[in-house]
Amino acid sequence: MSEDHHMIPVWFFVGVILLFSGLIILATGIYEFSSPPPTVLASLHPALWWGALLTLIGGIYVYFYLPKKS
């Protein structure tokens, strides 16, 4: 996208917000081992693996669409 304008692709911004949210959720998931939340199926540790998934997806987007100096 935006070949004429040479702007940062929207996918980079998507990556940044997913990476940030993923890291926060991942950290929360680790903390929940010592203090599990009062939610249904908390024993499956959804915050841990969902946070890891978001971090991974966000990281991939940031890596591939990181603005490069020409």
Partner 1 sequence: MNLSLSIPVAMLWFATPGTGPAGQGLIALRWPDLLIVGFYFAMVLGIGIYLKRYTRSGEDFFLAGREMTAWVAGLSFLSANLGALELMGWAASAYQYGILATHWYWVGAIPAMLFLGIVMMPFYYISKTHSVPGYLQLRYGESTRALSAISFAFMTVLMSGINMYAMALVMKVVLGWNIHFSIWVSSITVAIYVALGGLFSAIFNEVLQFFLIWLGALLIPILGLVEAGGWSGLVQRIHQNLPQGDYTHLWRTMGHFADNPMGIHWTGIVMGLGWVISFGYWTTDFLVVQRVFAAKDIRAAKMAPIIGSFFKMAVPFIVILPGLLGLGLLNYTLVPEKVAAVTGQHSYNEVLPLMLARYCGPGLLGLGITALIAGFMSGMAGNVSAFATVWTYDLYRPFVRKGAADGHYLKMGRWCTILGVMISIGTAYVVMQFGSIMDYVQALFSIFIAPLFGTVLLGMLWKRVTPAAGFWGLLSGSASSIAMFLLVKFDHSMLAYIALSSQAKDMAENMYRALWSWLICVIVTVVVTAFTKPKPVEELAGLVYGCTELPSEGHLPLWKRPIFWAGVSLALFLVLQWIFW
28 versus 59: smaller Cβ distance to partner 1? 28
Q: DSSP states of 2-34 as a string?
A: -TTTTPPPHHHHHHHHHHHHHHHHHHHHHHTTT
Which residues between 11 and 70 bind partner 1 (CB under 8 A)? 13-14, 16-18, 20-21, 24-25, 27-29, 32, 37-42, 44, 46-47, 50-51, 54, 57
d(CA 55, CA 61): 10
Task: Name the residues that contact partner 1, by CB under 8 A.
Answer: 1-5, 7-8, 10, 13-14, 16-18, 20-21, 24-25, 27-29, 32, 37-42, 44, 46-47, 50-51, 54, 57
